[in-house]
Structure formats: C-alpha cells, structure tokens
Amino acid sequence: MSARGPAGAGPAAIQLSRIMRPDDANIAGNVHGGTILKMIEEAGAIISTRHCNSQSGEHCVAALARVERTDFLSPMCIGEVAHVSAEITYTSKHSVEVQVNVLSENILTGAKRVTNWATLWYVPLSLKNVDKVLEVPPIQYAWKELEEDGKKRYEEQKLERLVTKQRNGDIIFPVFNPEPYTVGYSQSSLIHLVGPSDCTLHGFVHGGVTMKLMDEVAGIVAARHCKTNIVTASVDAINFHEKIKKGCVITISGRMTFTSNKSMEIEVFVDADPFVDEPKERYRAVSAFFTYVSLSKEGKPVPVPQLVIETEDEKRRFEDGKGRYLQTKAKRQVQMQPLTQQ
C-alpha cells in the first residue's frame, strides 16, 4: 500500500496493489468480479477509517453502507497486477463518499488499462459501542461546486436506499424438476458460517467478504443458465441494510430476473441467521443486482439464452429488469456522445 499527496485540500489518497493468482480467477483465467470488489472495499475501508480517526476523539471504524453501480470495463487476467486507488470526495455529518479506480498492469509489457471505477459510502461506528454512529471530520473542497455535487449524490443515494429497503421482503423458494432456462432452473444458494477471518475489529463481516460471496452465487446462476464461460459486467447499487455479526450463518441466494441478447441480470440477497447468543430472527442484510455476459472459448461475447417466464411475479421482475437495462443503456449512450463528437 502507498499513499499519495492530497487531492486539492482533501485527505491523502491511497493505492493497493496485488498480483492476480490462479485462485482469484475462473477456469478461463478471468479474475472473479468478487475478487475485484473485495479489493475495492478494502481500499475504501482503509481511507475512510483513517479519515474518521484523523481528529482527536472517540476511535471508530468505517462500515460499508452502500456501493453505487460499478461497471467492469475490461476483464483482468491471472498474472496481471491490480492497482486500486481510493480517494475521499465528499463527507456529510455521518457518512463518507469514497471514489475508487482500478488499473490492470501487464508486468511483462508495462501496458495498463482501467478495469473498474466505483463509488462507496461508509459510516463511522464507535469502537466502544457498535450502534453509535460518530460524526465525520469535514474535508475541504477545491471548488464550491464539488461540495454541491457531492451533496446531490448523498441525497440521491439516501433516497434510493429507502426505496430498496421497502421492497426487501422477497424470498427465493426451491423449485423441483425445473425446466431449462427457467428462473427455477438456474437459481442458486450458498450457506456460509461467519468466522473471525471474515470480520472487522467490531466482529462484523467486512463488506468486501459479503460482495465476493454474492458474486460467486451470481456467477453460478449465470453459468447454469448459459453453460458457457461468464464474466461480471456490472453490479447495480449494493445496499447494506443491517450488519452481520460473527457467528451468524448467512444464506446468499441468487435468481435470474432479466435477459437481453447479450447480458443477464441476477438478483442476489443475503439473509442472516444469528445463532450464537442472539434472540434475533432471520433478517435481510444485503441486496443487489449483478449483470453478467456470456463468452465463447475465445473470450468473445455470445448470445444469451432467453429466460423462460412462468409466473406473474417473474414477469414483473423481468419488466423491472428490462427498465433498468434500458435506463443504463441510455445513460451509457449519453456518456459516449461527447467522445464521438471530438
């Protein structure tokens, strides 16, 4: 890890670097999206925790609250070095916005390319009382417009978190003898006992650990549906609704919600069962939508088998997914317009 000079008058940015190993990748040699997400979260947690403890007062650790939409612009391969850079771009009274960029380096040729960028939101939790959210030291902005833009992003994500929490009652039930290409055919679950190595100083699960497990389940769903090599294309906003404590058993469940010609949207839930000294009932801790693409043996995108809809609920989720797909496509076209006009 290395630290760079401050951007404007804000806190110093940091960079994490690590070579990608075989256990970071799938059978085709493409690095798992969950591996990248875990590195992104580690960088964000370090810089936000460091900043929140930069003034004298009660010590704290920054907990991940939300990850905005993250696009995987280019696959990363075994043997390449991932350089993850994080910088704080906005602070409210009780939250920190961190911008993260990921570069992939071929250490044989020196060639580098951008593979990801992401926005994460953290809240500082007291080391003495995990339910106590502390105040965040403010940063200084080079221009007033930067603060105003950050405040707009803060209000938007706050509203979206409330909307997501309201629709969080869905449960994925097992389906017996499902037909190929149906939702039930590819839906998958993974059960994981939360141990000490998964947790922060508080004894709660690292956000990066949770995201990695979610990506694994989403990848299984996509592979079952396509029966080809698949890679993560993007992750919609990931909302961390409640903390997951050490000793919990978590169930990560995924199901196909939408398919276009070349992509698949997979909804992933994380439910927690507190078994150790906890009277609390099972609860929904995290939710997100992952998008995958299907690749040929040569690494080229290939058509995705269309999802077979069987129920009204599946039809509703398909239409919702189609709306998200078209909205993302429209945003991407708007972003590309300035580039094509140059």
Question: Catalytic residue positions?
Answer: 26, 215
**Dihedrals φ, ψ of 329, to 5°?**
-60, -40
- Assigned token pair, 196: 């000490």
Q: How far is CA 58 from CA 55, 96, 110, 138, in A?
A: 9, 17, 44, 16
**Dihedrals φ, ψ of 159, to 5°?**
-70, -40
Pairwise CA distance, residues 97 & 116, whole Å: 17
Beta strands in 112-263 (DSSP E): 112-126, 188-193, 229-235, 238-240, 249-259
DSSP structure class, residue 120: E
Length of the chain in residues, anyone? 342
Pairwise CA distance, residues 37 & 76, whole Å: 12
Strand partners, 17: 83
